[in-house]
Structure 1
Amino acid sequence: MPPANAAGRPSATPSRRGRGIRNSRPVTSEPPTALDRALDRYLRHVSIERGLSANTVAAYRRDLASYLGSLRARGVTTPEGVAEADVSAFAQQLRTRPDSPLTASSMARMLSSVRGFHRFLLEERLVPEDVASDVKPPKLASRLPKAITIEQMAAVLDAAGGDDLQSLRDKALLELLYATGARISEAVDLNVDDVLGVEEGSADVVRLFGKGGKQRIVPLGSFARAAIDAYLVRARPILSVRGPSTPALFLGLRGQRVSRQNAWLIIRARAEQAKLGIEISPHTFRHSFATHLLAGGADVRVVQELLGHSSVATTQIYTLVTADTLRDMYTTAHPRAR
């Protein structure tokens, strides 16, 4: 387990973040090229200086390893040797690859990785110009986030009712996800001391650590407070002695921190128990949190802060969902709407 900082949170140590930057180049007998070294430098930059998660850095590594493979096949081995035609050729390869066609979103992600890499090369003065600036990713279809109704959410939360250790834990986790709109990674990374007010006998707010380590404080509603209090008093002390000492808030039945994969399984199992007839994911809770708040009259900038979005434009997509709901209600109810 990584060393903890003063708050008991696992630190973003080089060894932990190293998982995102290790083995950045494909396994090959050839010595590393100048481009390989520039890529290693870029991945260290996004991991350490920009504070991106290990998963995000790993995605950059995969995308850019493919890109460097394309450049190597064209005889390009140095940053200054890359031309706009080389970048365009890689983009064309992504569009026409016959073996495993990419979705538009995957292509956009890979080209975004390439553009970010070349911006870094320019900023570090490793190249005289950004040869990827004019390469455009494919346009993505606008997809509205999927939320479930308040009644469906209540059914899922009720499905976790029970007095056994697992039910107490599941109820606390699901209530927290819906009460705060937390990403699943933010929820499973919580430590006990991130739930503020426990010392006074009741959890009032939670401290979430979002992308790039950005911290935000989100209030807990009465249902989430009651579920977390019950879990902390009646379940966590028993679970904690089953495994190694950890400050983690949510523990598995063997006393270890609940993983993202386990949280997915918890949500899937409770949704099946509730007989919703639809598949839901951890992000369903986040989408429903935002949609229900806006439908209830919350200001979009307040929801932005609660979600931890850096731009209000990201949050405004949820207003389209509530507008669609209003339109459907209007069409159904108004005598001259049809």
Structure 2
Amino acid sequence: MTRLLGDVERFLAHLRDGRGLSEHTVRAYASDLDDLDAHAAERAGRPPVTADLDLELLRDWLWRSTESGLARTTLARRASSARAFTRWLDETDRTPADVGVRLRAPKAESHLPRVLTSPQIDGVLRSLAVRADTADPGAVRDLAVVELLYGSGLRVSELVGTDVGDLDLGRNTVLVTGKGGKQRVVPFGIPAAEALDRWLALARPALAAVVPADPGRAHDARRAAFLGAGGARLGTRAVHRLVAGLLVDLPGGGPAGPHALRHTAATHLLDGGADLRAVQELLGHASLGTTQIYTHVSTERLRESYRTAHPRA
């Protein structure tokens, strides 16, 4: 009989080499399935084999995970990992049937995304503009980054992946490559255009003068719209640190990262009367249902304004 752990390793190799999933994603699968293997070993009192897998064992594993206090999002991910594994076992004839097809996990809790108020985002941009007036290249870049994130609703990965040639300052648009390699053209406003023009003309050349030692990174940097202090393409972690530092002292719950600016842009568009499908197109959402979360945010903001302002609330 085949050891369960051996089939787990073969499945992970399939994800990495056959499906081309990232190392981060493969590590998440590995963590979940290693825990499943350990649970199966404890239950069987010996190293488990693939034939030990059945729906009862999988449900018991999820129940134990629930009792240990794991978040619902983690439980949902574990169930998804197990279902993908058992489906692969069935497709490769390692098991006579897909034993995990009926496995279900608790639904993830739904939380409204963090959205900044107009005064809050105005204050953030004013503070960045003051820093940019010092002509420090990094400060000029930071203003352009935040103006573009808020002005266009880009994902942070889309922003750092932008090349200089993707920016059209004559039309105030950016060509974006989103999830699944899908491209879309996204507009941005005059403040973002002015910040980008200043960055590209006056500040980017200073950072571009620092050439990365690695030839591949140096070649990539020549195309990149945004550069870090080392002359290479600006990374997502640097943008996360920038935005988190700007939002850390502002009131409001939820993550204080670049996605908060995307949420804010979408909500402010809907607050201003933008069509839901237009916002879907701008954000690059495949499903209108994903965009509809922002209608809930707008409704909640309206209710809060009513509660605080209306004398009969």
Structure 1 residue 232, shift from structure 2 partner: 0.6
Provide the C-alpha distance between the structure 2 equivalents of 1:139 and 1:57, rounded to a whole number of angstroms: 23
> 1:72 and 1:122, CA in 2 relative to 1: closer, same or farther beyond 3 A?
same
> 1:65 and 1:215, CA in 2 relative to 1: closer, same or farther beyond 3 A?
farther
Provide the C-alpha distance between the structure 1 equivalents of 2:178 and 2:34, rounded to a whole number of angstroms: 27
> 1:302 and 1:44, CA in 2 relative to 1: closer, same or farther beyond 3 A?
farther
What residue number does 1:85 align with?
A: 56
Alignment pair present for 1:119 and 2:92? no
What residue number does 1:323 align with?
A: 299
Structure 1 residue 303, shift from structure 2 partner: 1.4
Provide the C-alpha distance between the structure 2 equivalents of 1:42 and 1:254, rounded to a whole number of angstroms: 34
**Structure 1 unpaired stretches of 5+:** 1-29
Structure 1 residue 225, shift from structure 2 partner: 1.2
Provide the C-alpha distance between the structure 2 equivalents of 1:300 and 1:121, rounded to a whole number of angstroms: 42
Percent sequence identity is 38
Cα deviation 1:188-214 (Å, max 9, x = unaligned): 22222222x25xxx4621122222323
> 1:177 and 1:54, CA in 2 relative to 1: closer, same or farther beyond 3 A?
farther
Structure 1 residue 302, shift from structure 2 partner: 1.6
Provide the C-alpha distance between the structure 1 equivalents of 2:139 and 2:272, rounded to a whole number of angstroms: 29
Q: Is the 8 A contact 1:205 1:217 kept in 2?
A: yes
Alignment pair present for 1:276 and 2:250? yes
| Secondary structure in 1 matching 2:174 | strand
Q: Is the 8 A contact 2:267 2:294 kept in 1?
A: yes
What residue number does 1:239 align with?
A: 207
Q: How many residues align?
A: 294
Alignment pair present for 1:61 and 2:30? yes
- From 304, 308, 311, the counterpart of 2:284: 308
**Structure 2 unpaired stretches of 5+:** 213-217
TM-score by length of 2: 0.83
Q: How do 1:31-50 and structure 2 match up within 5 A?
A: 33-46=6-19, 48=20
Provide the C-alpha distance between the structure 1 equivalents of 2:171 and 2:281, rounded to a whole number of angstroms: 20
Counterpart of 1:329 in structure 2: which amino acid?
A: S
| Secondary structure in 2 matching 1:208 | strand
Counterpart of 1:231 in structure 2: which amino acid?
A: W
Q: How do 1:123-272 and structure 2 match up within 5 A?
A: 123=91, 126-161=94-129, 162=132, 163-195=135-167, 197=168, 202=170, 204-244=172-212, 245=218, 246=221, 247-271=223-247
TM-score by length of 1: 0.77
Q: Is the 8 A contact 1:172 1:227 kept in 2?
A: yes
Provide the C-alpha distance between the structure 2 equivalents of 1:41 and 1:276, rounded to a whole number of angstroms: 45
Q: Is the 8 A contact 1:175 1:227 kept in 2?
A: yes
What residue number does 1:6 align with?
A: none
What residue number does 2:215 align with?
A: none
Provide the C-alpha distance between the structure 1 equivalents of 2:26 and 2:272, rounded to a whole number of angstroms: 37
Cα deviation 1:80-100 (Å, max 9, x = unaligned): 652112211221221123xxx
Counterpart of 2:261 in structure 1: which amino acid?
A: F
Query: Which structure shows the higher helix fraction?
Result: 2
Q: Is the 8 A contact 2:175 2:184 kept in 1?
A: yes
Alignment pair present for 1:287 and 2:258? no
Provide the C-alpha distance between the structure 1 equivalents of 2:283 and 2:23, rounded to a whole number of angstroms: 21
Structure 1 residue 34, shift from structure 2 partner: 3.1
Q: Is the 8 A contact 2:4 2:48 kept in 1?
A: no
| Secondary structure in 2 matching 1:160 | helix
Structure 1 residue 77, shift from structure 2 partner: 3.1
- From 102, 115, 118, the counterpart of 2:70: 102
Provide the C-alpha distance between the structure 1 equivalents of 2:164 and 2:147, rounded to a whole number of angstroms: 16
Q: Is the 8 A contact 2:5 2:37 kept in 1?
A: no
Provide the C-alpha distance between the structure 2 equivalents of 1:127 and 1:210, rounded to a whole number of angstroms: 37
> 1:126 and 1:182, CA in 2 relative to 1: closer, same or farther beyond 3 A?
farther
> 1:76 and 1:309, CA in 2 relative to 1: closer, same or farther beyond 3 A?
farther
> 1:37 and 1:57, CA in 2 relative to 1: closer, same or farther beyond 3 A?
closer
